[in-house]
Structure 1
Amino acid sequence: MNIYDIAELAGVSIATVSRVVNDSPMVSEKTKRRVRKVMEENNYTPNVFARGLGLDSMKTVGLMCPNVADAYMARAVAYLEQNLKEYGYDCILYCSGYDDEERRVAVNSILQKRIDALVLIGSSYAEDDEDSEKVEYIREAAKQVPVFMMNGCIRGENIYCALCNDFQAAHMAVTELIQTGKEDILFLSDSHSYSANQKLKGYQQALRDAGMPVNEKLCVYAENRIDRVRDLLLSRNDLMFDAVFATEDGLAIGALKYAKKRNLSVPRDISIIGYNNSELSVCCDPELSTVDSRGERLCKIIIDSMMLRLKNREIRSKVYANGFLVRRETTDF
Structure 2
Amino acid sequence: MNIYDVSERANVSIATVSRVINGNPNVSEKTRNRVLAVMEELGYTPNVFARSLGLNTMRTIGIMCADSSDPWLAGAIYYLEQELRRNGYDSLLCCSGYLPETKKKYLELLLSKRVDAVILAGSHYVEARQKDNAYLIEASKELPIMLVNGCLDGKQIYSTVCDDRTAVYESVTRLIQSGRTSVLYLYAGSSYSNLQKLAGYHAACAAAGLNIRDDLVRICPKDLDGTEELLCSLASAGLKFDAVFAAEDVMAVGAVKYANKTGIKIPEEMNIIGYNNSILSRCTDPELTTVDNKVESLCTTTVTTLMKVLGGGNVPVKTTISAELIKRGTTDF
Residue 165 of structure 1 and its aligned partner are, at CA, apart by 0.7
Match of 1:154 among 139, 152, 155: 152
What one-letter code is carried by the residue in structure 1 that aligns with 2:249?
D
Matched, 1:232 2:234: no
Partner residue, 1:331: 331
What one-letter code is carried by the residue in structure 1 that aligns with 2:49?
L
Alpha carbon RMSD of aligned pairs, Å? 1.5
What one-letter code is carried by the residue in structure 2 that aligns with 1:193?
S
| Pairing 1:301-312 to 2, within 5 Å after superposition | 301-312=301-312
What one-letter code is carried by the residue in structure 1 that aligns with 2:193?
S
Partner residue, 2:167: 169
Deviation per CA, 1:154-173, whole angstroms, max 9, x where unpaired? 11111000001110000010
Q: Which runs of 5+ in 1 are unaligned?
A: 1-24, 27-50
What one-letter code is carried by the residue in structure 2 that aligns with 1:272?
I
CA distance in 1, matches of 2:188, 2:311: 39
How many residue pairs align between the two structures?
283
CA distance in 2, matches of 1:52, 1:85: 23
Residue 127 of structure 1 and its aligned partner are, at CA, apart by 4.3
CA distance in 1, matches of 2:126, 2:245: 23
Partner residue, 1:196: 194
What one-letter code is carried by the residue in structure 2 that aligns with 1:234?
C
Q: Which runs of 5+ in 2 are unaligned?
A: 1-21, 24-46
Partner residue, 1:218: 216
Residue 52 of structure 1 and its aligned partner are, at CA, apart by 8.1
| Pairing 1:216-295 to 2, within 5 Å after superposition | 216-236=214-234, 237=236, 238-295=238-295
CA distance in 1, matches of 2:170, 2:321: 14
CA distance in 1, matches of 2:160, 2:127: 14
What one-letter code is carried by the residue in structure 2 that aligns with 1:173?
S
CA distance in 2, matches of 1:227, 1:85: 38
Partner residue, 2:182: 184
Deviation per CA, 1:253-300, whole angstroms, max 9, x where unpaired? 000011011101000000000000000000111000000011111111
Deviation per CA, 1:120-172, whole angstroms, max 9, x where unpaired? 011111142xx312111111111111110001111111100000111000001
| Pairing 1:7-26 to 2, within 5 Å after superposition | none
Q: Please give the secondary structure, in 1, of the residue aligned with 2:167.
A: helix
Contact 1:127 1:154 in 2 (8 A): no
Contact 2:50 2:58 in 1 (8 A): no
Change (3 A) 1:52 1:64: farther
Partner residue, 1:91: 91
Contact 1:52 1:59 in 2 (8 A): no
Q: Please give the secondary structure, in 1, of the residue aligned with 2:272.
A: strand
Residue 54 of structure 1 and its aligned partner are, at CA, apart by 3.3
* Greater mean deviation of Cα atoms: 84-93 or 228-237: 228-237
Residue 224 of structure 1 and its aligned partner are, at CA, apart by 0.7
Q: Please give the secondary structure, in 2, of the residue aligned with 1:240.
A: coil
Contact 1:249 1:278 in 2 (8 A): yes
CA distance in 2, matches of 1:127, 1:67: 16
CA distance in 2, matches of 1:147, 1:306: 9
Contact 1:259 1:265 in 2 (8 A): yes
Change (3 A) 1:304 1:52: farther
Contact 2:183 2:245 in 1 (8 A): yes
Partner residue, 2:50: 54
Deviation per CA, 1:29-77, whole angstroms, max 9, x where unpaired? xxxxxxxxxxxxxxxxxxxxxx981332111000001111111110000
Change (3 A) 1:227 1:284: same
Deviating above 2 A after TM superposition, structure 1's stretches of 4 or more consecutive aligned residues are: none
Contact 2:65 2:95 in 1 (8 A): yes
CA distance in 2, matches of 1:190, 1:127: 14
CA distance in 2, matches of 1:196, 1:307: 28
Percent identity for Structure 1 against Structure 2:
41
